[in-house]
Chain A
Amino acid sequence: MIDWSPLVISLKTASLTMIFVFFLGLLAAQWVVNLKSEGLKIVLDGLLTLPLVLPPTVAGYFLLYLFGVKRPVGLFFLEYFGVKIPFSFGATVLAATVIAFPLMYRSARGALEQVDENLIYAARTLGFSEWKIFFRVALPACFPGIAGGAVLAFARGLGEFGATAMIAGNIMGKTRTLPLAVYSAVVAGDFETAGKYVLVIVLVSFLAVVLLNYFALREKRNRKGKKS
């Protein structure tokens, strides 16, 4: 019988990551899309996408640099909230959020940019406030794209290893996620357990990708206007 705690921790981490990243990514995308300066757009887009292309260990380094107990942000959390971030469950979510953020941000940006601009203009001439336009016009029009981004973020949250290992460690029952459990089992020479964890992670990831394709299909149909 294998220990199921890595699966539970992974699912919790991935779910929370998806929720955080959904809002953060959407806000960032909306902000960047509405920027007037093309130059600023490029620079910001680069910064926001960086965690996607950097090795996760580099992201982990930055996270430790900021949130370490003796670093300014980490110290602030420790002194004012009594929370020690490194090697806590929160750290797995923090690491996964940073790594998965660009996936959501880029999907949301692409989806928002694809929204027919005449819809936005029409809404403006009809007196819609910018908030109403975002929630009633832009968001419904690009929902499949955004949902796809959220699923990608979930899958990435599930698979996060490098940054998690650095800031959250590998504490059984607390911060040991599925990828870390696979690593630990292999290092310990227990290929059978590792194989079981691998099977679980493949299954869950596959389900996520199937879901992603479903959203992509719906988006395609929306464009063609066959279904509303």
Chain B
Amino acid sequence: MSLQVDIRKSWKDFSLNVCFDLDKGPLGILGASGCGKSMTLKCIAGILRPDEGKIILNGRTLFDSEKKIDLKPQKRRVGYLFQDFALFPNMTVAENVGAGLILPKKEKQEQVCRMIEKFHLTGLEKKYPSQLSGGQKQRTALARIMAYRPDVLLLDEPFSALDAYLKEQLLLELLELLQDYSGDVILVTHSRDEAYKICPELMVVKEGLQVERGRTEALFRNPAYLETARMTGCKNLLKAEKKGPHELELTGLGLRLMTEQPVPEDVQYAGIRAHYFYVPEEPEKEVNLFRPLDFQETEAPFEINVIFHTKENSPGIWWKLEKETWNRLGRSMPPFLALSPGDVLPLR
């Protein structure tokens, strides 16, 4: 099972240029809204037509601008789960599930029954989509796609139309389902949580261009690019300049930091995750020390967010910590905060 994608497409004020391959996946495509991640999926499905490039699925050419091959979406065997699920409103759950099947009546019925059971839709066969809950809609849409046995499954922000409390449960269900599926999977999302939980591999996209591609854990631990750091949830992104092989200066703050990773020549930002600050016991022994001048706290359900400044008129720095720790500190800012060199991310 493999998918190779290498496509380019231009519009008046936007252009898409992505090149990647995957072997089963799931591959996560992570990017802000409007970055071209859904367009990439639409090109693979044949809904949009790239200007040039190639799409090859399991050795089958779906699109090749040089050879003038452009298979219709009907012939691609691509399963596309839409953000809003795109269930046919005039068909019942059972009719929706069987919509893509061209089989003799009896076999079709059996296949639909199997899918209804597998996706926990029993009892809902005769309901219409407007009578279903968000989770039921998603399961119906997935059953409809899986009944069709596609070679690749494209998931376009599958959880964004659902209530927050449903998301985690459905995410578990989806993971379970993906284990049985032998085809390739691509998940498009702007949520780092979804990407981290579902996809062992990740590609970060910005303004139609791919920024970085790699193992998910590695990208979360050591992002090399600003956009990767931003999309993986790094709160502090500060302008920086190189000062030594393992040293950089935060230009807005006039503060020098040591890094564990070598600092590249073209470093532009330093990323600091808000959770990684700690209160030093012996400040004089720390290499990366911050002296907060002020602070402002906001309380989230399970943690405290503190924003502090180390210089007048400089950007605020985020620190996130557990409520317990904050209470131990007497709910006020300690004189020093420290950061280990491994937690300073030099970014391009």
Contacts and interface: CB of A to CB of B under 8 A. Distances in A.
Interface of A: 116, 118-119, 121-129, 136-137, 140-141, 222, 225-228
B248 to A, nearest CB: 46
Secondary structure type dominating chain A contacts? helix
A137 B87 CA distance: 10
Contact of B100 (A126, A129, A222, A226): A126
B130 A228 contact: yes
A128 B74 contact: yes
28 contacts: A116-B86, A118-B82, A118-B84, A118-B86, A119-B86, A122-B82, A122-B86, A123-B99, A124-B46, A124-B47, A124-B72, A125-B46, A125-B79, A125-B80, A125-B150, A126-B99, A126-B148, A127-B148, A128-B100, A136-B88, A137-B88, A140-B89, A225-B89, A225-B130, A227-B130, A228-B89, A228-B129, A228-B131
Interface of B: 42, 45-47, 72-76, 78-80, 82-84, 86, 88-91, 99-100, 102, 128-131, 144-145, 148, 150
Contacts of A227: 130
Contacts of A226: 130
B89 A121 contact: no
B90 A121 contact: no
A125 B102 CA distance: 14
A114 B323 CA distance: 50
Contacts of A137: 88
A116 B47 CA distance: 14
B78 to A, nearest CB: 6
A125 B130 contact: no
Contacts of B45: 121, 125
Given A116-B86, A141-B89, A125 B131 contact: no
A48 to B, nearest CB: 28
A131 to B, nearest CB: 12
A54 to B, nearest CB: 36
A125 B47 contact: yes
A142 to B, nearest CB: 11
Contact of A125 (B78, B91, B128, B129): B78
B100 to A, nearest CB: 3
Given A127-B75, A128-B100, A228-B128, 4 more contacts: A122-B80, A123-B88, A137-B88, A227-B130
Nearest to B47: A121
Nearest to B145: A126
Nearest to A139: B90
B130 to A, nearest CB: 4
* Most chain A CB atoms below 10 A, which of B45, B74, B102: B74
B100 A141 contact: no
B40 to A, nearest CB: 15
B146 to A, nearest CB: 11
Contacts of B74: 124-125, 127-129
A64 to B, nearest CB: 44
Contacts of B100: 126-128
A137 B90 CA distance: 8
Contact of A141 (B47, B73, B76, B90): B90
A175 to B, nearest CB: 42
Contacts of B129: 225, 228
A205 B82 CA distance: 44
Contacts of A126: 99-100, 144-145, 148
A49 B88 CA distance: 31
* Most chain B CB atoms below 10 A, which of A123, A125, A127: A125
A222 B129 CA distance: 12
Nearest to A224: B130
Contact of A119 (B73, B79, B88, B102): B88
B79 to A, nearest CB: 7
A125 B99 CA distance: 11
Nearest to B84: A118
Nearest to A130: B74
Contacts of B130: 225-228
A221 to B, nearest CB: 10
Nearest to A116: B86
Nearest to A227: B130
A141 B128 CA distance: 13
A149 to B, nearest CB: 19
A140 B73 contact: no
B89 A125 contact: no
B109 to A, nearest CB: 18
